Amino acid sequence: KAIKTAKVVGFADMGMEAIYEFDVVDMPVTVAVDAGGTSAHITGPAEWQKKIATGEFKNIGVVAA
């Protein structure tokens, strides 16, 4: 529903594997790779593993909602 138009901009002969340009409206997205190629799927878990390993969260209580 969010894709209003789609246009092939490269490799049209490849069918669904072609490169498309989409006009998208009201579609939330999450960017997982920054402009330098760093993936949040790699850096995120690594960062949390370090925090957990240091015991940073040992004194944080868990409250049931």
Which structure tokens are listed for 12?
A: 């049209």
Tell me the C-alpha distance between 47 and 8, whole Å.
Answer: 39
How distant is the alpha carbon of residue 20 from its chain centre?
19
Which structure tokens are listed for 50?
A: 């370090």
Which amino acid, residue 38?
T
Confidence of residue 5 (pLDDT cuts 50, 70, 90): very high
Tell me the C-alpha distance between 62 and 65, whole Å.
Answer: 9
31-53: pLDDT as tens digits: 788 889 899 888 988 888 888 88
Torsion angle (degrees, nearest 10) of CA 42, 48, 52, 55: 130
